[in-house]
Amino acid sequence: MSDDDAERMALAQRVRATVLDLVLAAYEEAGVSGLCAEGRLDYAIDRARQVDLSPMLKDD
């Protein structure tokens, strides 16, 4: 794997981890708010769609 490929893979893994963490947190938050399972899922998906990915594109 080239250095460029390794960097792209690392970025993809950071994006996945960030979005997954956000979705799980949003699902729990929606549950605390009293939403049903379907409402919790809808809320979590909406939050995932709003993720600002631009900070992950900056060099570390």
Do 14 and 27 meet the contact criterion of CB atoms below 8 Å apart? no
User: Which ranges in 1-60 belong to alpha helices (H)?
Assistant: 3-32, 37-49
Q: pTM for the full model?
A: 0.79
Do 26 and 43 meet the contact criterion of CB atoms below 8 Å apart? yes
| pLDDT tens track, the chain, 60 positions | 888 889 999 999 989 999 999 999 999 999 999 999 999 999 999 999 998 888 877 765
> Shortest CA distance to 52 belongs to which of 23, 17, 19?
19
Do 39 and 1 meet the contact criterion of CB atoms below 8 Å apart? no
pLDDT of residue 57: 76
Structure tokens at 41: 């899922």
